[in-house]
Structure 1
């Protein structure tokens, strides 16, 4: 059950594909079964990590059905809402709710939300329409600066007035922005969770006060990240820090510039772990070269992360 304020580690996994870019449905089912057993606070598909923009509407629906069929209520299942208009976003939320989705990370509608400043009323009305259509928990999405709308303190307060808003995914990759969002969320009459989406400093964001994470890096090392968050929230900082010392170099490498290549890099990590069979991505995204693959293997060996 997703509640306000939301906390814990929600995994945003990757989508297994065959070499030709078609979805590996059997591989997806095996991966979801493994992931649900890692004790995350939720699993969110149709996200940036799972290449939602490259999927047709029908494929997005099929991904939902396949995942829900495997997870079978073991953990909450969420689906991203990616749409170009308020009307289509609300319709998608209503459709996903009927399919059994339990909550929605809401992506800004691009290009309408591109450029600063984005009117707060526009942001509020977009999320309110989705809430009214499905009456399910919503997680707002703070993108990196320059990528999407900047959730200023006033805008955070405004969208938090929507009862269905349980958290904000703080993926600005900016320390000052993260701290500001944490402070504003804590001062609300009814607080919301702040889930870090900044894969390069997950531990540090939790130490700043994030209540958890909604994050692509939790598509693997899921149990370890859950334990790291429990360590931070429970005061066992040494344990949490030890986990991040091992995992942090992988996260920082996979999310280095160009950041779009985090998908094939992370799929290579999953392939090396035996969690997926192939590291293919769907074009126009390109894969990584042999040098990167070799470096990822070397890094995982050095960190003791390969059996």
Structure 2
């Protein structure tokens, strides 16, 4: 599956990228959702030039109740206004009938004018390639304007699963699936997905979810990344440089990858707290609280995140930030 360096490097080139940020859902210290902070962050992400995806892993979608996810959909539509595209995770929630559960979730997403991202459920794990692709075909086939698939490494969440090659080949053939997010965190697997896509259906988008190899956009992937919620404006700037064929893309991508390597180190699910810490450090959020059931990073994380922020040009007065946004958390 690894392929050759020549075939991988042969994919490199300037290109326009469809960038989607999986938006963090911030919380207050009380344990309640910080709705004002969330809506501001949605607007900031869209104004930067990225599309928004809500109720994803980054937005604690698997920890929210159905009604809470609907509230997130409403807040997103309110923040973006009418007619602005966004994406949202569709869940089966461990229902005995996953198809019916997905249909209910998809209906709420489409009612807000958004595109569903079909998030895996544990019931899929025991299915054959034909059964699994059949479920995707029925769920996506019932949508008004198509959906996006999603394969997630179990390193992110236990309901995740990376498809085998046969399953992906069948997924690509589903016309109502516009693309699929790929989050194996394995560059070689994603390169194989791109090659299979190119051979079978070139208009099918492979959205990288590899926060540890965000340069996959230069190899042909688009992206739906949790890392993009840390710094959506810098991601949009990087994408413009890639489209222009400007070598400055490499420098900015390196700085963003440094942030990704810090934020997404093991235990990977704690990256969401790192995102909240970083956004608070950069004065984008009023605090760093996250969902009460989500894992956290230590306060000392801010020392390294400050270095990341400085490298990305977010730090005007390092001493002040160390005094106000780092030291009190140590």
Secondary structure, counterpart of 1:163 in structure 2? coil
Alignment counterpart, residue 231 of structure 1, candidates 220, 238, 241: 241
Greater CA deviation, 238-247 or 278-287? 278-287
Aligned counterpart, 1:297:
306
Question: Does the alignment pair 1:39 with 2:49?
Answer: yes
- Structure 1 residues 303 and 132, CA gap change in structure 2 (3 angstroms): closer
> For this pair of structures, how many residues does the alignment match?
294
Question: Does the alignment pair 1:192 with 2:234?
Answer: no
Structure 1 alignment gaps of length 5 or more: 1-5
Question: Does the alignment pair 1:207 with 2:204?
Answer: no
Once the two structures are superposed, the pairs formed by residues 123-202 of structure 1 within 5 Å of their partners are 123-144=132-153, 148-189=160-201, 191-202=203-214
Greater CA deviation, 215-224 or 176-185? 215-224
- Superposition deviation, residue 233 in structure 1: 4.3
Secondary structure, counterpart of 2:125 in structure 1? coil
Contact 2:262 2:304 (8 Å CA) reproduced: no
Structure 2 alignment gaps of length 5 or more: 1-15, 317-330
Post-superposition CA distance 1:59-93 (Å, at most 9, x none): 11111111111112574111101213121011210
Secondary structure, counterpart of 1:37 in structure 2? helix
Question: Does the alignment pair 1:283 with 2:266?
Answer: no
* TM-score (norm. length: structure 2): 0.83
Post-superposition CA distance 1:74-124 (Å, at most 9, x none): 7411110121312101121022212222x12211112x2337xx4112221
- Structure 1 residues 273 and 73, CA gap change in structure 2 (3 angstroms): farther
- Superposition deviation, residue 176 in structure 1: 1.2
Contact 1:12 1:44 (8 Å CA) reproduced: yes
- Structure 1 residues 201 and 28, CA gap change in structure 2 (3 angstroms): same
Larger Rg: 2
In 2: Cα distance, 1:229 partner to 1:302 partner? 18
Secondary structure, counterpart of 1:21 in structure 2? coil
- Structure 1 residues 166 and 179, CA gap change in structure 2 (3 angstroms): same
Post-superposition CA distance 1:188-208 (Å, at most 9, x none): 1453111110011101x1222
Question: Does the alignment pair 1:113 with 2:133?
Answer: no
Contact 2:54 2:87 (8 Å CA) reproduced: yes
Alignment counterpart, residue 26 of structure 2, candidates 16, 39, 54: 16
Alignment counterpart, residue 51 of structure 1, candidates 60, 64, 87: 60
Contact 1:8 1:226 (8 Å CA) reproduced: no
